Chains A and B, each alone.
Chain A
């Protein structure tokens, strides 16, 4: 069964315009959650702006789903308050919070047709029939599922079911859309398509505030305006997506959000300004790296992404290190090299290799620009 894409922008403009609503901000004010003596979410203070997609990512047990469930009203905070817009929802039951929620296994009601699933929230809220019919039509059109209204969920593929789940959540005009690992049950190809389609959906519904919980960094990087990286029930780092990726504030963030080479260096010379480059020493090499206030003598990590390492030098790639080639893995589009640089394994992702690659065990220079680097302190929860 073919999976239609979300409707194109022309059609989308019409349907999305009807769906578009003013999203609300979400404010966590020192929200903690505990089961008995076991604290699963330490006091969390965080804001999601109206119309923003915030991705919460982190390993299993990091507290990201607990934070989402606290917003939804399925776990009660041990302390702190949660506000959605101007409303303090901490003590409100889930059905009075005005949210939409999409979960990993879709949770479409199997005894209802697609149109009844989408109409469910409106019927539950006592909306009149004309409004329900209009909203069902618009919501299904928005996710490209208009032709499937009379089918049962069992007659749909996984990707189609997830679209219906999104349509069902959109039909109630939620103040905030909660997405709890919504693509985890899909296979890799469909997941990639769905990520792009959710991004397109948000472009067409820019007012929609989304809290997106995932363990998949690619989904987070593709979709989120901001990312909160969770670890052991705490926010390890939080900030604009590109900023977190380019200038990770700590080792955990650098390693969790994409692949990172972290070279232990000693600062030799401070940066001239707040956004300048410090000079740091790695063995005999002196490297320039984007600084964050380090002082001479500080021991820190120089973060450089595998795809920013070049096998050839030029005027821009002024940083140079030499490593011993250990492994070469060809993966079609990319070739991954692993080198040993002063005892630290360094990964290189290259799209093009020189005609003659040195043999394993040979010394090999690597080049990178200071602008692609960042000095990263060892783990400090931010």
Chain B
């Protein structure tokens, strides 16, 4: 919507700045200040220090970063493969079946993550599917929670893909596998990268299910942050939160550059 009057534009920008500042910037600013605070008894911290960052780096922070990165990468990759596969498979199914299965894919995203964690704990605590206490159950939990988003992103990309590309490829003699690899997937790349980025970000911030199932030795960043703040070490928790934000941001910016290049080509 175009606003033509100058006062109207000022009002709109003021409302935007207020909402953005209060809802988005203020919480992050408080966490950032906390991570650097020496003491915080008044409105603002009484002194600044980098001591909390030194503490978390010397502590288990890097192991948590590693656990989160590995979990995020593997779960997102798995979700990307299965979500893409599902989206491609549903495209050639009967419309009603595709709609029903599509809805089923989204169910895990509507269930509280704690319930997903609890469900997995119950389901995989007995032979023959004994995953409780292993890293695998963390991967499974993250996969269940993020796969709906990859499926949704890839499905949206496929819906926008003109069937002409694949049909022309077929008419020129390309068999289905060749067509998929050389035409469909390259054309879907921006959507695949976006799906991976979203899944990765979700996985990096996932706590509810992880806290239910994580084994000793595989403590992710959100679990570490939760433990620190639960013990009252708010400043260290804030420092670790900033590490989480920085790592996720760097990875997403990198992916965004890849997506941008793909879109331009």
**Which A positions have Cβ atoms within 8 angstroms of B?**
72-74, 93-105, 107, 109-111, 120-121, 124-125, 152, 154, 168-169, 172, 178
Cβ-defined partner of B169 (8 Å) among A102, A111, A120, A178: A120
CB-based contact A95/B168 at 8 Å? no
Could you say which residues of chain A place their CB within 8 Å of the CB of B171? 72-73, 94-95, 97, 99-101, 178
Known: A101-B167, A103-B164. A152 touches B172 (CB 8 A): no
Known: A95-B175, A111-B187, A120-B174. A101 touches B182 (CB 8 A): no
**Those of B142-185 within 8 Å (CB) of chain A:** 162, 164-165, 167-175, 178-179, 182-183
**Cβ distance B259 to chain A, nearest Cβ, rounded Å:** 13
Could you say which residues of chain A place their CB within 8 Å of the CB of B172? 95, 100-101, 120-121, 124, 168-169, 172
A107–B167 CA distance with the chains assembled, in angstroms: 9
Could you say which residues of chain B place their CB within 8 Å of the CB of A94? 167, 170-171
A178–B164 CA distance with the chains assembled, in angstroms: 13
A120–B175 CA distance with the chains assembled, in angstroms: 12
Q: List 18 A-B contacts (CB under 8 A).
A: A93-B170, A94-B167, A95-B175, A96-B173, A99-B171, A100-B172, A101-B167, A102-B168, A107-B162, A109-B165, A109-B187, A110-B265, A111-B186, A111-B189, A120-B172, A124-B178, A125-B173, A169-B172
The main secondary structure of chain B at its interface with chain A is: helix
CB-based contact A152/B265 at 8 Å? yes
Could you say which residues of chain B place their CB within 8 Å of the CB of A120? 169, 172, 174, 182
Beyond contacts A74-B167, A105-B162, A111-B189: 15 other A-B pairs, Cβ-Cβ < 8 A, are: A72-B167, A72-B171, A94-B170, A95-B175, A101-B168, A103-B168, A107-B164, A107-B168, A110-B265, A111-B186, A111-B187, A121-B173, A124-B172, A124-B175, A154-B265
Interface centre among A94, A101, A110 (most CB of B within 10 A): A94
A72–B164 CA distance with the chains assembled, in angstroms: 12
CB-based contact A95/B162 at 8 Å? no
CB-based contact B182/A124 at 8 Å? yes
Q: Which residue of B lies closest to A74 (CB)?
A: B167
Could you say which residues of chain B place their CB within 8 Å of the CB of A72? 167, 171
**Cβ distance B17 to chain A, nearest Cβ, rounded Å:** 38
A270–B165 CA distance with the chains assembled, in angstroms: 56
A104–B179 CA distance with the chains assembled, in angstroms: 20
Q: Which are the 7 A-B pairs with shortest beta-carbon distances?
A: A121-B172, A124-B174, A107-B164, A101-B171, A94-B170, A125-B173, A107-B168
Cβ-defined partner of A105 (8 Å) among B164, B175, B183: B164
**Cβ distance B179 to chain A, nearest Cβ, rounded Å:** 8
Could you say which residues of chain A place their CB within 8 Å of the CB of B186? 109, 111
Could you say which residues of chain B place their CB within 8 Å of the CB of A107? 162, 164-165, 167-168
**Cβ distance A143 to chain B, nearest Cβ, rounded Å:** 16
A16–B70 CA distance with the chains assembled, in angstroms: 57
Could you say which residues of chain B place their CB within 8 Å of the CB of A172? 172-173
Could you say which residues of chain A place their CB within 8 Å of the CB of B165? 107, 109
**Those of B101-119 within 8 Å (CB) of chain A:** none
Give 1 or 0 for each of B196-223: 1 = CB within 8 Å of chain A CB: 0000000000000000000000000000
CB-based contact B173/A95 at 8 Å? yes
**Cβ distance A329 to chain B, nearest Cβ, rounded Å:** 39
Cβ-defined partner of B265 (8 Å) among A73, A96, A102, A111: A111
Cβ-defined partner of A95 (8 Å) among B170, B183, B265: B170
**Cβ distance A99 to chain B, nearest Cβ, rounded Å:** 5
Q: Which residue of B lies closest to A96 (CB)?
A: B173
Interface centre among A105, A124, A169 (most CB of B within 10 A): A124
Interface centre among B171, B189, B265 (most CB of A within 10 A): B171
**Cβ distance A67 to chain B, nearest Cβ, rounded Å:** 15
A139–B172 CA distance with the chains assembled, in angstroms: 14
**Cβ distance A175 to chain B, nearest Cβ, rounded Å:** 11
A101–B45 CA distance with the chains assembled, in angstroms: 70
A252–B164 CA distance with the chains assembled, in angstroms: 31
Could you say which residues of chain A place their CB within 8 Å of the CB of B164? 103-105, 107
Q: Which residue of A lies closest to B264 (CB)?
A: A154
**Cβ distance A130 to chain B, nearest Cβ, rounded Å:** 18
Cβ-defined partner of A110 (8 Å) among B173, B179, B187: B187
**Cβ distance A343 to chain B, nearest Cβ, rounded Å:** 48
Could you say which residues of chain A place their CB within 8 Å of the CB of B179? 124
Could you say which residues of chain B place their CB within 8 Å of the CB of A101? 167-168, 171-172
Q: Which residue of A lies closest to B166 (CB)?
A: A107
Could you say which residues of chain A place their CB within 8 Å of the CB of B174? 95, 120-121, 124
Could you say which residues of chain B place their CB within 8 Å of the CB of A168? 168, 172
A172–B167 CA distance with the chains assembled, in angstroms: 15
Could you say which residues of chain A place their CB within 8 Å of the CB of B175? 95, 124
Could you say which residues of chain B place their CB within 8 Å of the CB of A121? 172-174
**Cβ distance A242 to chain B, nearest Cβ, rounded Å:** 31
**Cβ distance A211 to chain B, nearest Cβ, rounded Å:** 12
Interface centre among A95, A104, A125 (most CB of B within 10 A): A95
Q: Which residue of B lies closest to A121 (CB)?
A: B172
Could you say which residues of chain B place their CB within 8 Å of the CB of A97? 171
A313–B165 CA distance with the chains assembled, in angstroms: 57
Q: Which residue of A lies closest to B183 (CB)?
A: A109
A125–B182 CA distance with the chains assembled, in angstroms: 13
Could you say which residues of chain A place their CB within 8 Å of the CB of B183? 109
Q: Which residue of A lies closest to B189 (CB)?
A: A111
**Cβ distance B157 to chain A, nearest Cβ, rounded Å:** 14
Could you say which residues of chain A place their CB within 8 Å of the CB of B162? 105, 107
A172–B173 CA distance with the chains assembled, in angstroms: 8
Q: Which residue of B lies closest to A104 (CB)?
A: B164
Q: Which residue of A lies closest to B172 (CB)?
A: A121
Q: Which residue of A lies closest to B165 (CB)?
A: A107
A107–B171 CA distance with the chains assembled, in angstroms: 12
